[in-house]
Chain A
């Protein structure tokens, strides 16, 4: 997904010199809203849940903006906030789900099919199912590497993991998807 609008460096410059929080925040929202939306949506599937998490993420960005030291890019910083919010949401949802669910695969397919905003064909459904069956952290790494084409160094700053750990995680994610694909093809 291409970057839109003003560069991060310019935003940081405005932040440091003008000290105008509202203006800087508006620029950040305009620049990152769509990217963050898809980053979250691929993890949680539902549009409504994504909307909630996205708004909470930007609320946290607003509150933390004054304390932003500029030692990382806004991009990394905002992604990190959104990722943490997403994991918090998933933890709560999985805790609630674990009381009722035995058939995880069935539940994932049902979730995809029942989402009115899911518009994919059979192949899309299969891919999304495989991805959603991955553990949350592995799913995140796969999405960032495969769909967002992020460098491992960027991912390391967002997830606070080492490059080596991320490479291993991506490798295992692809291996699992292959295994599920082969099982279904048999």
Chain B
């Protein structure tokens, strides 16, 4: 330890004097520069977050654009299209009725007419005797309309 102190004694006069110079005014402005570094770091962190989110935002914007285009330019179903569909349904129903009616005999139709008090085209009740004069088409017309 004694020998070590000799060495350190040699340098004793140097101990309290630094061989390094500091630029003039460095410490006076250091605090401002540190605050600027902190602000810059905070902004660059926000920029990093934005860079991360940006591709997802672009994707979302793309989807939104497609939806807007679809809603704006793809035409809605027209009334004719709806009517056509209804007519098809209507025609289908009558087709079924036709099939069912074909299975009925004239006597069945006549019985139905008299039991249900269905009037003829002039609004007069159809009597039994008249039923035999009616054609299949007449009977069908009376039942359906």
Contact = CB atoms under 8 A, between A and B. Distances in A.
Interface in A57-92: 58-59, 62
B6 to A, nearest CB: 8
B26 to A, nearest CB: 8
Interface in A131-161: 146-147
Contact of B19 (A29, A51, A58, A120): A120
Given A26-B31, A47-B22, A123-B14, A178 B4 contact: yes
Interface stretch (B32-40, B87-95, B126-134): B32-40
By secondary structure, the A interface counts as: helix
A41 B22 CA distance: 10
A94 interface: no
Interface string A106-148: 0000000001011111011101100000000000000000110
B8 interface: yes
Interface in B25-76: 26-27, 30-31, 33-34, 37-38, 41
Interface string B1-29: 00110111011001101111111001100
Contact of B31 (A33, A41, A59, A119): A33
Contact of A117 (B8, B15, B20, B41): B20
Contacts of A38: 18
A70 to B, nearest CB: 22
A44 to B, nearest CB: 10
A23 interface: no
A175 interface: yes
A39 to B, nearest CB: 12
Nearest to B18: A38
A178 to B, nearest CB: 4
Contacts of B26: 51
A163 interface: no
B17 to A, nearest CB: 8
Nearest to A179: B7
By secondary structure, the B interface counts as: helix
Nearest to A185: B10
A106 B61 CA distance: 61
B34 A123 contact: no
Interface of B: 3-4, 6-8, 10-11, 14-15, 17-23, 26-27, 30-31, 33-34, 37-38, 41
29 contacts: A26-B31, A29-B30, A29-B31, A29-B34, A33-B30, A33-B31, A34-B27, A38-B18, A47-B23, A59-B34, A115-B20, A117-B20, A117-B21, A118-B20, A121-B19, A123-B11, A123-B14, A124-B19, A128-B19, A146-B8, A171-B4, A174-B4, A174-B7, A178-B3, A178-B4, A178-B6, A178-B7, A181-B7, A181-B10
Interface of A: 26, 29-30, 33-34, 37-38, 41, 45, 47, 51, 54-55, 58-59, 62, 115, 117-121, 123-125, 127-128, 146-147, 171, 174-175, 177-178, 181
